[in-house]
Amino acid sequence: MQHAARAGVDLFRQAARSWLVGLTWLLTLSLSGCATLDQDSPVAASSTGSTSKLAEVQTELGIGYLSRGQLDLAWKRLSRALELDPHYATAHFVMGLLQERLEQPEKAEASYRRAVELDPLNSAAQTNLGSFLCRTDRFDEGEWHNLLALKNSLYEKPEIAYTNAGLCAERAGRGDKAEEYFKAALQRNGQIPAALIGMTQASYDDGRYLNARAFLERYLATGREDPRALLLGMRIEKALGDNAASADYARRLKTQFPTSPEAEAAIDADAS
């Protein structure tokens, strides 16, 4: 009974960590996409006048501080932006990102919702609200907001919304749907880590081990080597009958991440 409870906790931690790894990459893309505003875009056009331009500048500075982890300075800049222009949707959206980093989920949700209320065409805000809802197990509404992000034909990063939708479906246990979204994301950008590891998992779960190996190799080529990927590699190679490669993945997992639940799973596999 105690072992089963511990296994359940480990699975939860693994899912949460995987989600956060994917989210970190997605937020980085979102932030880089927000850093420079197109003056002809609906978001930029919604804020006019010198005060609104100052709010844009403050928001861009806040984005820079947030991307570097300087949360106190980001807070000051974003708060100032909202003082200057309370109707500037991007400032609300980025404030939501900051509030998530500060573990203020209720405030983050309110900021995201205010952003999409002010500017429904702000696809970055729509998809981050969608992801937030998925992380709080509101899957249907979360998927809906991710799909709303894709309705904007001017959205320059649809792969973000597709990947977020895939992560949402994966978390909800909708494997087929997750694979569909991950494929769509990779068609637009073949190097999205969260989509690649998602396709690795989906292929492995479906018994398509050669496909799983190929997706994992592409994932590792992005420079990431984390417990989830190494455990998947161990299991994929074992399923393909390459015991030496499987053992190498297990060794790297236990050496680099000795206290991880995945390393414990590898040790349990050795003992069985």
pLDDT in tens, the chain (272 residues): 444 334 333 433 333 333 333 444 444 444 433 433 333 344 444 445 678 889 999 999 999 999 999 999 999 999 999 999 999 999 999 999 999 999 999 999 999 999 999 999 999 999 989 999 999 999 999 999 999 999 999 999 999 999 999 999 999 999 999 999 999 999 999 999 999 999 999 999 999 999 999 999 999 999 999 999 999 999 999 999 999 999 999 999 999 999 999 999 998 887 66
The answer to whether the beta carbons of residues 23 and 131 sit under 8 Å apart is yes
- Could you tell me the CA-to-CA distances from 113 to 23, 79, 99, 120, 167 in Å, in that order? 19, 17, 13, 10, 20
Angle at 143 (CA atoms; ends 142, 145), nearest 5 degrees:
65
The answer to whether the beta carbons of residues 132 and 142 sit under 8 Å apart is yes
Spatial separation of the C-alpha atoms in residues 187 and 200, rounded to whole Å: 15
Query: Which class for 110: exposed (0-12), middle (13-18), buried (19 or more C-beta within 10 A)?
Result: middle
Element (H, E) at 271: helix 261-271
Structure tokens at 94: 């980025």
Spatial separation of the C-alpha atoms in residues 51 and 146, rounded to whole Å: 31
Q: Give the closest residue to 199 by CA, choosing from 227, 178, 229, 222.
A: 178
Phi, psi of 208 (to 5 degrees): -95, 75
Count H helices, E strands: the chain?
15, 0
The answer to whether the beta carbons of residues 65 and 73 sit under 8 Å apart is yes
User: What confidence score (pLDDT) does residue 49 get?
Assistant: 65
- Residue type for position 270: D
Spatial separation of the C-alpha atoms in residues 79 and 66, rounded to whole Å: 13
Spatial separation of the C-alpha atoms in residues 125 and 148, rounded to whole Å: 10
pTM equals 0.77
- Residue type for position 166: G
- Residues ≥6 apart with Cβ < 8 Å to 116: 89, 122, 125, 126, 129, 145, 148
The answer to whether the beta carbons of residues 168 and 156 sit under 8 Å apart is no
The answer to whether the beta carbons of residues 88 and 117 sit under 8 Å apart is no
Element (H, E) at 32: helix 2-34
- Residue type for position 100: E
Spatial separation of the C-alpha atoms in residues 85 and 186, rounded to whole Å: 37
